[in-house]
Amino acid sequence: MSSHVIDDTGAAVPVPAPVRRVVSLVPSLTEAVARTAPDLLVGATDWCTHPADLDVVRVRGTKNPHVDRVVELRPDLVLANFEENRPADLDALRAAGTPVWVTVIRTLPEALESLERMLSACGQARPAWLTEARDAWSDRLGAPPAPLRRAIVPIWRRPWMVLGPDTFAGDLLARIGIANAYADAAERYPRVPLDELNAIAADLVVLPDEPYPFGPADGPESFPDLPAALVSGRHLTWYGPSLAEAREVIGHAISKTESPD
């Protein structure tokens, strides 16, 4: 027996009771379910790397899931995201009779609320890690504080691409006092030539290790006039159990770029 529950897009999703089989098409959502109710997961993408011992059927990537393989797993619910997954793939799953729950997450408060609702749709009460995440950010869930520093945040090179407006990672940085230098760009992930990046007023460059694997020898050399903060992409861009420690992890990485008094 199933009932219709409203996902983040406003769509009514026929969710059976109880939910016993879940396929996740988003790495952070995979980790959220694995930490909460690991027995539910029967499939995940090739990019779902947490937890490290995750042993489920792999269904290719977020942008090219193997739709037939997902359907063959007979999931009670497929978990997706409005940004990570293509509408055509999700429509194909629905056409095959597979319920799809789509999350819409652009801010930290949205993430905390969306994750709780998604897990509730899976029949799960709020897990301890989500309470810990709420507690870790409890004083930053209102309006972001006045920025202390301004950062360029590349997410790719060849071509160079940066965080623009209305992104989860940009909101997370804002809540620890780091303004995004491209928050007013026309696109959410604009392509910007390197010479323009080096000409814009900024206090530092933040280089996550995903989706592009920036590292000590790959990235900082392109910004010779700015201190570089090498940060964990999982803590900056994932919405899931990593949120419980993201504030400390990202804050520590950025603090190392501050000039001594």
The residues near 13 (Cβ < 8 Å, ≥ 6 apart) are 4, 5, 6, 7, 77, 99, 100, 101, 121
Give dist(CA 126, CA 116) in Å, integer.
Answer: 6
Looking at CATH, the fold of the domain delimited by 2-126 is given as Rossmann fold (3.40.50)
> CB of 28 within 8 A of CB of 54?
no
Q: Are strands 2-6 and 12-16 parallel, antiparallel or unpaired?
A: antiparallel
Give dist(CA 80, CA 19) in Å, integer.
Answer: 16
Predicted pLDDT of residue 46: 96
Give dist(CA 114, CA 106) in Å, integer.
Answer: 10
pLDDT in tens, 31-66: 999 999 999 999 999 999 999 999 999 999 999 999
Give dist(CA 120, CA 131) in Å, integer.
Answer: 14
Picking from 207, 35, 54, 226, the residue whose alpha carbon sits closest to that of residue 132 is: 35
pLDDT in tens, 175-223: 999 999 999 999 999 999 999 999 999 999 999 999 999 999 999 999 9
% of the chain exceeding 70 in pLDDT: 98
Predicted pLDDT of residue 2: 72
Domain ranges across the chain: 2-126, 143-255
Predicted pLDDT of residue 71: 98
- Residue 260: is its pLDDT beyond 60? no
> Coil, helix or strand for 259?
coil
Greatest extent of the chain over all pairs of C-alpha atoms, in Å: 64
Residue/partner pairs of 193-201 with CB below 8 Å, 24 or more apart: 193/160, 194/160, 194/222, 197/152, 197/154, 197/160, 197/162, 197/222, 197/223, 198/222, 198/223, 198/224, 198/225, 200/152, 201/150
Q: Hey, do 2-126 and 143-255 end up sharing a CATH topology, with the first three levels equal?
A: yes
User: How many alpha carbons lie under 13 Å from residue 84 in its C-beta half-sphere?
Assistant: 27
AA identity, residue 86:
R
pTM reported for the whole predicted model: 0.93
Q: How large is the average pLDDT for residues 129-138?
A: 98
Predicted pLDDT of residue 3: 86
Predicted pLDDT of residue 259: 66
pLDDT in tens, 1-40: 678 999 999 999 999 999 999 999 999 999 999 999 999 9
| CATH entry, 143-255, from 1.10.10.410, 3.40.50.2300, 3.20.20.80, 3.40.50.1980 | 3.40.50.1980
pLDDT in tens, 75-124: 999 999 999 999 999 999 999 999 999 999 999 999 999 999 999 999 99
Give dist(CA 69, CA 233) in Å, integer.
Answer: 29
Report the length, in residues, of the chain.
261
